[in-house]
Chains A and B, each alone.
Chain A
Amino acid sequence: AQSVTQPDIHITVSEGASLELRCNYSYGATPYLFWYVQSPGQGLQLLLKYFSGDTLVQGIKGFEAEFKRSQSSFNLRKPSVHWSDAAEYFCAVGRGGSGYNKLIFGAGTRLAVHP
């Protein structure tokens, strides 16, 4: 069965520091992978996605993620964090196949940014 694990529930970084949020997935076929961000009281905003091709994916707000098939990982990175990046981040894997892309979400990582 598909599953997504985000090992870190909370992460705190200093403003200007680099960031890496971990995501591991379990899926038998080629996965479709997504990162979403949720600010308090808001819906989910798509940061980036991977379907195929280049394994390093660029997203909005200066984020990038790298798909590593051998490690079943899709970690999210940002070289320099801004205070406005404080939010909750969700990794998701899509089933693909026929019909709509059914998403399985991880439990999320809450990011706090210290000034």
Chain B
Amino acid sequence: ETGVTQTPRHLVMGMTNKKSLKCEQHLGHNAMYWYKQSAKKPLELMFVYSLEERVENNSVPSRFSPECPNSSHLFLHLHTLQPEDSALYLCASSQVFESSTDTQYFGPGTRLTVL
């Protein structure tokens, strides 16, 4: 595997289900990100982990719970979602330097549908 991979690619879940999205980066990076991409809305940054520490939580509802067990893996745990949470969830990674000239590389996304 190369780059950033995400599983599953498609997920359909009911509002009472619990599921998890997985992201893995094979680039040796030290920061990972979750974004939400809804129709007709710009990409929204949800969470950022840098050196396995959460450094950003963009007012995301608690029904989304991120987990970063190591620098290569990132999870997004989902529970009691709403239909408006249906979207493409994108993972990205970057190598963070002091100068913050890092570049983010994206995975293919997980298309989530909440019924």
Residues of A within 8 A of B (CB): 32, 34, 36, 41-46, 49, 51, 90, 94-103, 105-108
Contact = CB atoms under 8 A, between A and B. Distances in A.
Interface string B11-49: 000000000000000000001000000000111010010
B62 interface: no
A101 B55 contact: no
Interface stretch (B64-72, B74-82, B97-105): B97-105
A51 B103 CA distance: 10
Contact of B100 (A36, A44, A90, A101): A101
Classify chain B's interface size: 20 to 34
A87 to B, nearest CB: 14
Q: Give 4 nearest A-B pairs by CB, closest first.
A: A43-B106, A44-B106, A105-B43, A43-B108
B43 A101 contact: no
A84 B67 CA distance: 37
A18 B56 CA distance: 40
A44 B102 CA distance: 16
B39 to A, nearest CB: 11
B94 interface: yes
A42 B108 contact: yes
A106 B45 CA distance: 13
